[in-house]
Amino acid sequence: MMPRLSGAVAVLVALGLLLGSYVLYAHDASRVAAALSRRVPLRKPLGELPPTLGDWRGEDIPLEEGMAEVAGADDYVSRLYRNATTGDVLSLYVSYYGSPRSMVGHYPDRCFPAFGWRNELRRVDEIKGSGAAHDRAWPAVVYRFRKGREQVTVVSFFNAGGEYTAERDVVRWAAHRAIGGQTRNYLAQVQISFPGAVPLERALRVTGRFLSELLPRLEDQLPSPAGRALAAAQE
């Protein structure tokens, strides 16, 4: 039979247990906060992305008023590209988030309606590369939005810590991986837009040709696997 504790001793034991629990909670909360606030830097600013990509010629364009503040990205680039051979025109928006705290919530079907666009289509698809990148493919979501008489077709996907994905769950899990001490804790969002109701198959085909030129250059600017591992080891 265990000895009975006096009232004072019982109170002290209870306080000790509470204090121990609080210390453990505070330690875990501090660790999670540190993981969420840790930022992985780009190797090069997105503004240094080449304006000429194969036959594509680009020029910087400003975002719609207030959009940059809403997106809250660590860095971004917004450009209009025209293909000198085919005449195809598209808009490119790439945003970078070096911390998982900022990752979630920035999806076209949330951001475009916030600026008055109505979502008329959402379709999950695969973009196939061309030329030297003909054996590559990237998952993407294709949207069509309308505002008054204007229409826009948007192809969107993410690079979550080196993995291309169109799935929101993968983006969300990038934050959990970072909290768990793994290094997949950055996000790049790529959006390619076409004015008007471009036929979807054409939009996918043109996007594939453009990504085959864009992504090798973009990957040179994103954090390298070795750099991510080194940053994690130094924490």
Residue scoring higher pLDDT (81 or 3):
81
CA distances from 155 to 8, 15, 127, 206 (A): 67, 57, 9, 11
Domains recognised in the chain with CATH numbers: 46-234 (3.40.1000)
Angle between helices 168-179 and 7-37 (to 10 degrees): 120
- pLDDT beyond 70 at 77: yes
- pLDDT beyond 90 at 90: yes
pLDDT tens digits along 176-192: 554 444 455 788 999 99
d(CA 160, CA 166): 10
pLDDT tens digits along 94-145: 999 887 555 555 688 888 888 889 999 999 999 999 887 888 999 999 999 9
pLDDT-derived band at 194, boundaries 50, 70, 90: very high
**In terms of Cα–Cα distance, which of 201, 191, 219, 26 is closest to 92?**
191
Query: What pLDDT is stored for residue 99 in this prediction?
Result: 75
Q: Look over the chain and give the mean of its residue pLDDT values, rounded to a whole number.
A: 78
Amino acid present at 45: P
Average pLDDT over residues 47-63: 94
Q: 179: part of which helix (H) or strand (E)?
A: helix 168-179
- pLDDT beyond 60 at 37: no
Residue scoring higher pLDDT (8 or 233):
8
Query: What pLDDT is stored for residue 7 in this prediction?
Result: 58
Residue by residue, DSSP assigns 79-129 as EEEEETTT--EEEEEEEEESSGGGTTT--HHHHHHHTTPEEEEEEEEEEEP
Identify the sign of the CA torsion 189, 192, 197, 199: negative
pLDDT-derived band at 75, boundaries 50, 70, 90: very high
Query: What pLDDT is stored for residue 98 in this prediction?
Result: 86
Average pLDDT over residues 71-86: 91
pLDDT-derived band at 20, boundaries 50, 70, 90: low
Query: Please, what's the b/e burial string for 94-126 (b: 16 or more CB within 10 A of its CB; e: otherwise)?
Result: bbbbbbbbbbeebbbeebbeeeebeeeeeeebe
